[in-house]
């Protein structure tokens, strides 16, 4: 990460903390308390790492306000009410210092009918189709493709190689990672009497609302004739499939490698762990949580937690999955019971 | 989707149906019966949505020939023998009206030895290697890559950012979605005595026959020295892995997020649901159906349906998976039985 | 594959074998013994294919030294101590004959501050950011993207459309397949009291050591503030997700479609089969083997083999998974036992 240099005093001031030890110690990176290095700043967030503070090579450590040193410390410290929030705040501060890309590369291919806002960055080799609109301060990194009529709001970041099919709409403050594909055809076919599949044209689009993050190589298919909708604040990790006609509710989080089949409707504030699969046309209420590798084939009610394939309620599911190992033993014991009973 | 306008009468004529209500009502989009909007055309396909027809905001609804209205209707109707086929037919009609891309972009990089057919579209930034052949009317969207000696038949669509490694062969009437990778090296290594893996060169190719659709970010690896083969009419959804030396039989359908290991042979007319995994060298007969998340480790006979990991026959598998929830109870009951028997 | 022609004698000489039959027979491709074709060279590696040697259409077959023909052979043969190693050696020989790409395409966009080594190939449309370093003889195929400050060692191959985010480091002798994304943001968010997720900036990088192969469309996320590390000799197949802060040990092999969550640490010489999922912060020792579709939620000790979701030891897990099918029968039998006991 950035190799910018700050003193311990400067960092304490950025984070609103108090210092002990040499306030002029130079910090040039964030590091781990147990793998520290000189000039590094570590964070003591998890109590179990406390012993490391007495031997750390890090030049400074951020600790909780209530921290009491039991021995002399080899490093400066910064006291904060909440070291974890301090770490995030510091990362956010560093983030603002990252060099910003600006301007439109000469090698970008931009249709004359496209409307480009102010402060926009369009990188090398980007292709912008007819009637595309790109809002102010959006950053389109190299080799992205925006099909005809795509509308992109303000303050978005599209990393290198994002592909958006025609007619899709992206809100503002979204981040789309490299290789994400938005608006590819839904998987819709109609078998004839000889099992030859005729394609059902997929003429809808994808609408992504504000504050959404889409992971690398994740795919969100267009709707058959209306819109696949990703609501405000949704976060989707890498390599996840969202099929046609789905709707993902506000502030729902989907981890990597999930497969959401067609016309699934997911509520608000849900959390899907990795590799979850959801059958087509299933409905999940708000605040549903699904454990990793869960296979959801039936609707899940508001607030329910599920795990297993097929999905069970979390409590029941954890017990059931945890007892699969005992089946061979059960078989043996039932054999024995039957033998004895026959006597 | 397209905002072209037609009257109810015109649509009835396109679909071969009869109208009731105002035949001059203007329709400008397809919509849902329960979320209709003015100027929208809805389809009453599923009987359970019938109540909505009396309150729909849609301007017209397509119904079955046999439909009998129980009250006054707020919309025009079009009667068809098969409303579902009508929807597909209408989508196909709209599809033909989509603006077509044509011509070769100046920014495309086309080797001099490449042969380009008539009516071909080659978009901005496309890279076409030595000796590549592209058949008539094929559309290569922006930022695609065709390695040396790739042969592509007629009437294909390659969406933005498809990558095809050298020597691969694509038939005619195929659709490859954005980010699909055809012909990457199969995953072949040989460990030495120190567990260091030596690469086994992968020098074969991929052959994709006619009428195949390949989903976004799906990967089909090249064969070690012969061909990975995708037969005529196969449809593969997004984010699926087809490893080296596989052969996928005619008109087989593979849903998203499947992982097919090396040298698997799948018959004709099979259906794999999402997230299915198949072990290397496994053989599936024709018309096999595998439920979602199934793990197939053994050959599956013609016509068999399977589910579970490891895969069981569908009937047995559904029962078995459905009874996992009862194992904790079984453990308790067997404990009780043993206690009583000991008395 | 390559259509270069060699005589049986030349091939025997390349592989250090002895010939029988016509040594001047022309060989122009490698083929299968049971699907041979004229001019083809087949390998008799698996004993069960031995009957095919008496009817093969292949013009020559490579056999084990100890092979004794029971009838007249329709083909020339080459005797080798180890035909399988011979196949690999021959593939490696053919590999050396592949035409090599060289030079920097005019359409590549290379920042003036980038340092490009000798013998480097940079294909059409490649984007190379500020301060990038590319070592000698590395091949960057068309439409790749290297973000600012990316460092790439010697003798690497990046196939078309690889995207590497800024600050990432690649060693030497690595192969990255099309669509691989290195260094996208880790999936890190902090929910506020309203379940709105605030992004935790991801400012670290990815370090890939020497001799690593990364599959097509595989994603390796950058670390939050340090490095996600892929150690020397690791081989990762297609469509796999490696989340932020992971460390994958030397010579570990990961098959396709795996999902490795954040901060997982995997030891040396491990093997993960397809579609395995690993929970965040889990630690796997050296030489761990995980069967396909395994879900690993707890640390796994050095040398252990696991299968199932949740993971069990391989022996226990295979028995347990294999006995899931008997649960319905167990339920029935326990019912019967209870009935009888009540009498």
Query: What's B53's domain CATH number?
Result: 3.40.1390.10
The catalytic residues of A are 244
Q: What is the ipTM of this complex?
A: 0.95
| CB within 8 Å: C256 and B279 | no
| CB within 8 Å: C256 and B243 | yes
Using alpha carbons, select from C127, C139, C133, C216 the residue that is nearest to residue C173: C139
Considering chain B, what percentage of its residues have pLDDT values greater than 90? 92
Q: Which partners does chain C have (≥3 C-beta pairs < 8 Å)?
A: A, B
| CB within 8 Å: A310 and B322 | yes
**Residues of A with Cβ-Cβ distance to C324 under 8 angstroms:** 324, 327
pLDDT band at B341 (very low <50, low <70, confident <90, very high): confident
Backbone angles phi, psi at A230, to 5 degrees: -110, 110
How many angstroms separate the CA of residue B139 from the nearest CA in chain A? 14
How many angstroms separate the CA of residue B151 from the nearest CA in chain C? 14
Three-state secondary-structure class, residue B222: coil
CB nearest C259 (choices: A160, A257, A338): A257
What does the pLDDT read at residue A2? Answer: 52
pLDDT digits (tens, 9 = 90+) for B125-151: 999 999 999 999 999 999 999 999 999
Q: Is residue A169 part of a domain?
A: yes
To which residue do tokens 């890279």 refer?
B127
Of the candidates C109, C141, C177, C244, the residue annotated as catalytic is C244
Q: CA A307, A308, A313, A314 torsion: positive or negative? A: negative
Neighbouring CB atoms inside 10 A of A155's CB total 18
Structure tokens at B197: 């893996």
| CB within 8 Å: B328 and A323 | yes
Tell me how far apart the alpha carbons of residues A39 and A36 are, in angstroms, rounded to a whole number. Answer: 9
| CB within 8 Å: C333 and A334 | yes
| CB within 8 Å: A161 and B161 | yes
CB nearest B91 (choices: A145, A147, A200): A200
Does A58 lie in the same domain as A93?
yes
The structure's pTM equals 0.96
What does the pLDDT read at residue B3? Answer: 64
Does B73 lie in the same domain as B147?
no
Query: What is the greatest pairwise CA distance in chain A?
Result: 91
Inter-chain CB pairs, A–C, below 8 Å: 186
pLDDT digits (tens, 9 = 90+) for C22-66: 999 999 989 989 876 788 999 999 989 999 999 999 999 999 999
| CB within 8 Å: A275 and C279 | no
How many angstroms separate the CA of residue B56 from the nearest CA in chain A? 16
How many angstroms separate the CA of residue B327 from the nearest CA in chain A? 6
Which one of B219, B275, B298, B308 makes the best mutation probe of the C interface by having the most chain C beta carbons within 10 Å? B219
For chain C, how far is it from start to end, CA to CA, in angstroms? 75
**Running DSSP on this structure, what letter comes out for residue A291?**
-
Considering chain C, what percentage of its residues have pLDDT values greater than 90? 92
| CB within 8 Å: C159 and B161 | no
pLDDT band at B193 (very low <50, low <70, confident <90, very high): confident
Q: Is residue B329 part of a domain?
A: no
To which residue do tokens 């790439």 refer?
C152
What does the pLDDT read at residue A38? Answer: 83
How many angstroms separate the CA of residue C237 from the nearest CA in chain B? 6
Does C140 lie in the same domain as C37?
no
Q: What is the DSSP string of C183-218?
A: SPPP--EEE-TTSPEEE-----EEEE-TT-EE-TT-
Three-state secondary-structure class, residue B76: strand
Q: Is residue B326 part of a domain?
A: no
Task: Please check the confidence at residue B2 and state whether its pLDDT lies above 60.
Answer: no
| CB within 8 Å: C141 and B143 | no
CB nearest C295 (choices: A30, A95, A293): A293
pLDDT band at C2 (very low <50, low <70, confident <90, very high): low
- Domain limits at B266? 103-320
Mean pLDDT of chain B: 95
Q: Which residue of A has its CA nearest to C107?
A: A107
What does the pLDDT read at residue A1? Answer: 52
Q: CA C297, A278, A267, A226 torsion: positive or negative? A: positive
Does B70 lie in the same domain as B193?
no
- Across B215-234, b (16+ Cβ under 10 Å) vs e yields bbbbbbbbbbbbbbbbbbbb
| CB within 8 Å: A187 and B235 | yes
Q: Is residue A192 part of a domain?
A: yes
Does A107 lie in the same domain as A76?
no
Does B184 lie in the same domain as B252?
yes
Q: What is the DSSP string of B251-267?
A: T-EE-TT-EE-TT-EE-
Q: Is residue A30 part of a domain?
A: yes
Task: Please check the confidence at residue C232 and state whether its pLDDT lies above 90.
Answer: yes
How many angstroms separate the CA of residue B269 from the nearest CA in chain C? 24
pLDDT band at B167 (very low <50, low <70, confident <90, very high): very high
Does B120 lie in the same domain as B254?
yes
The answer to whether residues C124 and A140 touch, using CB atoms and an 8 Å cutoff, is no
pLDDT band at C5 (very low <50, low <70, confident <90, very high): confident
Of the candidates B28, B141, B244, B281, the residue annotated as catalytic is B244
Q: Collect all residues with Cβ–Cβ distance below 8 Å to B106 and sequence separation of at least 6.
A: none
Q: Which residue of A has its CA nearest to B90?
A: A201
What does the pLDDT read at residue B38? Answer: 83
The number of distinct structural domains making up chain A is 2
Q: Which partners does chain A have (≥3 C-beta pairs < 8 Å)?
A: B, C
Radius of gyration of chain B (CA): 26
In angstroms, what CA-CA distances link B294 with A69, A263, B258, B309, C237?
A: 55, 22, 10, 5, 20
- Domain end residue (candidates: B97, B117, B140): B97
The helix or strand, by DSSP H or E, that contains position C331, with its residue range, turns out to be: helix C327-342
Does A120 lie in the same domain as A60?
no
Q: Which residue of A has its CA nearest to C142?
A: A143
Residue C289 pairs in a beta bridge with C271, C305
Does B120 lie in the same domain as B82?
no
Does C139 lie in the same domain as C55?
no
| CB within 8 Å: C325 and B333 | no
CB nearest C161 (choices: A32, A161, A337): A161
Using alpha carbons, select from A238, A217, A283, A222 the residue that is nearest to residue A230: A222
Neighbouring CB atoms inside 10 A of C115's CB total 11
**Residues of C with Cβ-Cβ distance to A330 under 8 angstroms:** 330
Which one of C163, C237, C287, C289 makes the best mutation probe of the B interface by having the most chain B beta carbons within 10 Å? C237
The answer to whether residues C174 and C192 touch, using CB atoms and an 8 Å cutoff, is no
How many angstroms separate the CA of residue C203 from the nearest CA in chain A? 5
Using alpha carbons, select from C139, C208, C195 the residue that is nearest to residue C168: C208
**Residues of B with Cβ-Cβ distance to A261 under 8 angstroms:** 255-256, 274
In angstroms, what CA-CA distances link B44 with B65, C127, C214?
A: 11, 51, 49
| CB within 8 Å: A275 and B274 | no
- The tens-digit pLDDT sequence of chain A (343 residues) is 556 789 999 999 999 999 999 999 999 989 989 876 788 999 999 989 999 999 999 999 999 999 999 999 999 999 999 999 999 999 999 999 988 899 999 999 999 999 999 999 999 999 999 999 999 999 999 999 999 999 999 999 999 999 999 999 999 999 999 999 999 999 999 998 888 999 999 999 999 999 999 999 999 999 999 999 999 999 999 999 999 999 999 999 999 999 999 999 999 999 999 999 999 999 999 999 999 999 999 999 999 999 999 999 999 999 999 999 999 999 999 999 999 887 7
pLDDT band at C273 (very low <50, low <70, confident <90, very high): very high
CB nearest C94 (choices: B107, B203, B330): B203
- Domain end residue (candidates: B77, B97, B117): B97
- Domain end residue (candidates: B97, B132, B148): B97
Task: Please check the confidence at residue B343 and state whether its pLDDT lies above 80.
Answer: no
Q: Collect all residues with Cβ–Cβ distance below 8 Å to B154 and sequence separation of at least 6.
A: B117, B135, B136, B137, B138, B172, B173
Report the CATH number that the domain containing residue C241 is assigned in CATH: 2.160.10.10
Q: Is residue A342 part of a domain?
A: no
Does B249 lie in the same domain as B115?
yes
**Residues of A with Cβ-Cβ distance to B314 under 8 angstroms:** none
Q: CA A76, A82, A84, A87 torsion: positive or negative? A: negative
Q: Is residue C25 part of a domain?
A: yes
**Residues of A with Cβ-Cβ distance to C338 under 8 angstroms:** none
Chain centroid offset of residue B294 CA: 18
**Running DSSP on this structure, what letter comes out for residue A232?**
T
| CB within 8 Å: B224 and C91 | yes
Does B63 lie in the same domain as B113?
no
**Residues of A with Cβ-Cβ distance to C261 under 8 angstroms:** 255-256, 274
To which residue do tokens 């994002």 refer?
A162
Q: Collect all residues with Cβ–Cβ distance below 8 Å to C28 and sequence separation of at least 6.
A: C3, C4, C5, C6, C39, C40
Q: Is residue C333 part of a domain?
A: no
Inter-chain CB pairs, B–C, below 8 Å: 188
């Amino acid at each position: 990460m950035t190799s910018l240099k700050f003193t311990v005093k400067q960092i304490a001031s950025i984070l609103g903390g108090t210092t002990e030890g040499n306030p002029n110690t130079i910090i040039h990176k964030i590091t781990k308390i147990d793998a520290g290095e000189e000039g590094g700043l570590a964070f003591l967030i998890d109590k179990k790492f406390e012993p490391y503070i007495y031997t750390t090579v890090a030049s400074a450590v951020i600790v909780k306000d209530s921290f009491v040193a039991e021995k002399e410390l080899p490093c400066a410290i910064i006291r904060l009410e909440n070291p974890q929030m301090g770490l995030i705040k510091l990362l956010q501060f560093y983030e603002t210092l990252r060099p910003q890309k600006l301007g439109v590369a000469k090698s970008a291919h931009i249709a004359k009918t496209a409307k480009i806002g102010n402060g926009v960055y369009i990188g090398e080799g980007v292709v912008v189709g007819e009637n595309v609109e790109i809002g102010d301060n959006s950053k389109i990194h190299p080799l992205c493709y925006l099909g005809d009529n795509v509308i992109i709001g303000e303050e978005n970041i599209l990393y290198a190689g994002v592909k958006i099919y025609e007619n899709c709409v992206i809100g503002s403050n979204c981040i789309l990672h490299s290789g994400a594909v938005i608006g590819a055809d839904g998987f819709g076919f109609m078998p004839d009497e000889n099992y030859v599949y005729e394609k059902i044209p997929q003429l809808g689009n994808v609408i992504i609302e504000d504050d959404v993050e889409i992971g690398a190589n994740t795919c969100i298919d267009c709707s058959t004739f209306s819109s696949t909708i990703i609501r405000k604040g949704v976060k989707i990790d890498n390599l996840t499939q969202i099929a046609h006609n789905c709707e993902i509710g506000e502030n729902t989080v989907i981890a990597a490698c999930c497969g959401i089949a067609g016309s699934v409707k997911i509520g608000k504030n849900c959390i899907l762990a990795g590799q979850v699969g959801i059958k087509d046309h299933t409905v999940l209420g708000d605040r549903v949580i699904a454990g990793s590798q869960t296979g959801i084939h039936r609707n899940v009610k508001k607030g329910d937690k599920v795990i297993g394939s097929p999905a069970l309620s979390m409590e029941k599911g954890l017990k059931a999955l945890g007892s699969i190992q005992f089946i061979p033993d059960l078989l043996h014991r039932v054999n024995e019971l039957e033998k004895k009973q026959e006597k």
